[in-house]
A and B are shown apart, each in its own frame.
Chain A
Amino acid sequence: ETGVTQSPTHLIKTRGQQVTLRCSSQSGHNTVSWYQQALGQGPQFIFQYYREEENGRGNFPPRFSGLQFPNYSSELNVNALELDDSALYLCASSQALAGGQETQYFGPGTRLLVL
């Protein structure tokens, strides 16, 4: 148990719809990162939030957006869903200190299927 929770555990959407995935960070963590993992592949970095500000972004289009809240919980929003968005979405929280990147604690993931 990492103390990081995600919801929902899985969901099915259709092309063109919008989806919001949620992540609750481990207590005391101020940084959250989101990843997309397609079946059989390694995770791909989507973005990272530190103290409610985006702190880095991977090669994902703007229809992937995020929020981090004052209590350090986080959302990943995906608009205009495409079939290729079907994947496991993972969030990971950490306590970033000045100049350093700390150990990440991963949630169990949300499995999204787009039909």
Chain B
Amino acid sequence: KNEVEQSPQNLTAQEGEFITINCSYSVGISALHWLQQHPGGGIVSLFMLSSGKKKHGRLIATINIQEKHSSLHITASHPRDSAVYICAVFTGNQFYFGTGTSLTVIP
């Protein structure tokens, strides 16, 4: 069993739709990261969370420590949001990664 599970694995949306990607984890963590990876390999760190909620532009990330669950929301999705979104947790001395959610936003 993976320490970090993401859903869905693949997601196709129409431009403008509200998108939610979920992440559940089974280990104790000190922080959770949401990452974005575009084709070609470049990874961008979107959020680092240890509690509550963060917002950056059209992106919102929430975490519920008690339920060991986090969500990444994209409002008013755009084709340039098409990428793989990866959830990663840090336990204090090790990282675990989800397998990623591949998002395609159609114009």
User: Is the CB of A68 closer than 8 A to any CB of chain B?
Assistant: no
User: Is the CB of A109 closer than 8 A to any CB of chain B?
Assistant: yes
Beta-carbon contact of A106 and B93 below 8 Å:
no
Main secondary structure on A side of the interface with B = strand
Beta-carbon contact of A103 and B99 below 8 Å:
no
Beta-carbon contact of A109 and B99 below 8 Å:
no
Note all chain B residues with C-beta closer than 8 A to A57: 93-94
| Range for the number of chain A residues in contact with chain B | 20 to 34
Query: How many angstroms from the CA of A48 to the CA of B92 in the assembled complex?
Result: 11
Beta-carbon contact of A101 and B90 below 8 Å:
yes
Residues A101 and B31 in contact in the complex (CB < 8 Å), given A48-B93, A56-B94: yes
User: Is the CB of A104 closer than 8 A to any CB of chain B?
Assistant: yes
Note all chain B residues with C-beta closer than 8 A to A111: 41
Query: How many angstroms from the CA of A50 to the CA of B1 in the assembled complex?
Result: 29
Q: Closest A-chain residue to B46, C-beta based?
A: A103
Scoring A residues 100 to 115 as 1 if CB is less than 8 Å from chain B, else 0, what string do you get?
Answer: 1111111011010000
Beta-carbon contact of B86 and A43 below 8 Å:
yes
Query: How many angstroms from the CA of A102 to the CA of B35 in the assembled complex?
Result: 14
Task: List, sorted by A's number, 26 A–B pairs whose CB atoms are closer than 8 Å.
Answer: A35-B95, A35-B97, A37-B41, A42-B86, A42-B100, A43-B97, A45-B96, A48-B93, A48-B95, A55-B93, A56-B94, A56-B95, A57-B93, A58-B94, A88-B41, A92-B43, A101-B92, A103-B45, A103-B48, A104-B33, A105-B45, A106-B42, A106-B43, A106-B44, A108-B41, A109-B42
- 5 more contacts with CB within 8 A, not counting A43-B97, A88-B41, A90-B43, are A45-B97, A55-B93, A101-B92, A103-B33, A111-B41
